[in-house]
Amino acid sequence: MFDREKKLIRKIKNGDQEAFEKLYNTYADYSLRTAYGITKNQSDASDIVQETFIKVYRNLDKYDMKKPFKPWFYQILINEAKRYIAKKSKQAISMETEQLLDYFNSKKTDSDSEVWIEDLEVAMEELDDNHRTVLILKYLNEFKEKEIAEILELNVNTVKSRLYKARQRLKEIVGGVAGE
């Protein structure tokens, strides 16, 4: 994948619009899901993805070809989402819980899974932005901690700590909700 992306990026840098279309087709769906997960609004997510691809195209000369493209791309996407949200003066970043819940639900097989999913949905909404974002990147987009650190411009240990705290907080909230 890494070599294929490098070839594609070289073609884009040389003005090949079909190559850019291939890049778009490769990243558009996940980008839209990630942006929707952050904004919880389809229109906002589409705007963010559009702006992300514009920025990627304009800044492709700044991309370090020695490094994987995907983390660089998602860093732009996350930064664009944050910028967009700040511009709209939204207070909270919520995530697309449905896909994350599907992931968690696939790990749970007991008969109480419907109740558990509802509890988890409530819990996800109560997490702060930092914890929700790392969960999106980890479980929805399946990034490794190191990649998340690069995307969010954080230390790897900070990412690990946020993931740990997010999981702990989810357990607390779900336990509290389930116990009510």
Stronger pLDDT, 93 or 144, i.e. the higher one: 144
pTM: 0.56
Query: What's the N-to-C CA distance of the chain in angstroms?
Result: 48
Please state, in angstroms and rounded to a whole number, the distance separating the CA atoms of residues 138 and 120. 16
* CA pair distance 96, 132, nearest whole angstrom: 10
Choose between 119 and 168: higher pLDDT.
168
Query: Quick one: fold of 2-88?
Result: Rna Polymerase Sigma Factor; Chain: A (1.10.1740)
Can 2-88 and 97-179 be said to share one CATH topology? no
Share of the chain above pLDDT 70, in %: 76
Phi and psi for 136 in degrees, rounded to 5? -60, -50
Measured CA to CA, the distance from residue 140 to residue 28 in angstroms comes to 15
Q: How far apart are CA 63 and CA 72, in angstroms?
A: 7
For the chain, give every domain's residue range: 2-88, 97-179
Specify the pLDDT at position 62.
92
151 closest CA partner among 50, 49, 57, 76: 76
Task: Establish how many alpha carbons lie within 13 A of residue 74's alpha carbon, considering only the half-sphere containing its beta carbon.
Answer: 29
Determine the residue type at 145. E
Yes or no: say if 27 and 1 are a contact pair by the CB < 8 Å rule: no
DSSP-assigned states of every residue in 41-72: -HHHHHHHHHHHHHHHHHTGGGS-TTS-HHHH
pLDDT score of 94: 39
pLDDT tens per residue, range 65-123: 898 899 999 999 999 988 887 676 433 333 444 555 555 556 555 555 566 666 666 77
Q: What is the DSSP letter of 140?
A: I
Q: Assign 6 a pLDDT band (cuts: 50, 70, 90).
A: confident
Residue 47 has pLDDT above 90, yes or no: yes
Higher pLDDT, 97 or 138: 138
The per-residue pLDDT for 10 is 92
The residue-averaged pLDDT of 122-133 equals 82
Q: What is the pLDDT of residues 15-43, one digit of tens each?
A: 999 999 999 999 999 999 999 888 888 99
Confidence of residue 147 (pLDDT cuts 50, 70, 90): confident
Domain 97-179: which CATH number of 3.40.50.10860, 2.130.10.10, 1.10.10.10, 3.40.50.150: 1.10.10.10
pLDDT band at 48 (very low <50, low <70, confident <90, very high): very high
pLDDT score recorded for residue 92: 35
Q: What is the pLDDT of residue 85?
A: 76
Measure the CA–CA gap between 104 and 116, rounded to whole angstroms. Answer: 10
Token pair for 163: 């993931």
